[in-house]
């Protein structure tokens, strides 16, 4: 993790996930650290992949991952009451 992102290690201990006939899967949790202010808090989790069949192709524009990678933004909401 570098404050802007996190690199997941697969079951083999290496960064990234293997594809092919038996692709790896990696579960992850988004933890909300809490707040005293009641409201809805929103964020996005960006998944970046080389898989050509998932997500949007990056053109390396501002806010995008490096060129020719694909990405999907997953919305996350936590509501404090």
CA end-to-end span of the chain, whole Å?
Answer: 30
More confident residue, 30 or 72: 72
Global confidence as pTM: 0.62
More confident residue, 78 or 26: 78
Q: DSSP for 61-81?
A: -TTS-STT-EEEEEEEEEEE-
> Would you say residue 22 has pLDDT above 60?
yes
Nearest Cα residue to 48 out of 36, 31, 35, 63: 63
């Amino acid at each position: 993790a570098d404050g802007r992102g996190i690199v997941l290690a697969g079951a083999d201990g290496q960064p990234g996930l293997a594809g092919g006939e038996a692709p790896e899967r990696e579960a992850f949790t988004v933890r909300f650290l809490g707040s005293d202010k009641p409201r809805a808090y929103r964020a996005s989790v960006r998944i970046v992949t080389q898989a050509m069949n998932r997500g949007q192709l990056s053109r390396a524009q501002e806010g995008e991952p490096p060129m020719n990678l694909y990405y999907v933004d997953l919305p996350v909401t936590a509501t404090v009451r």
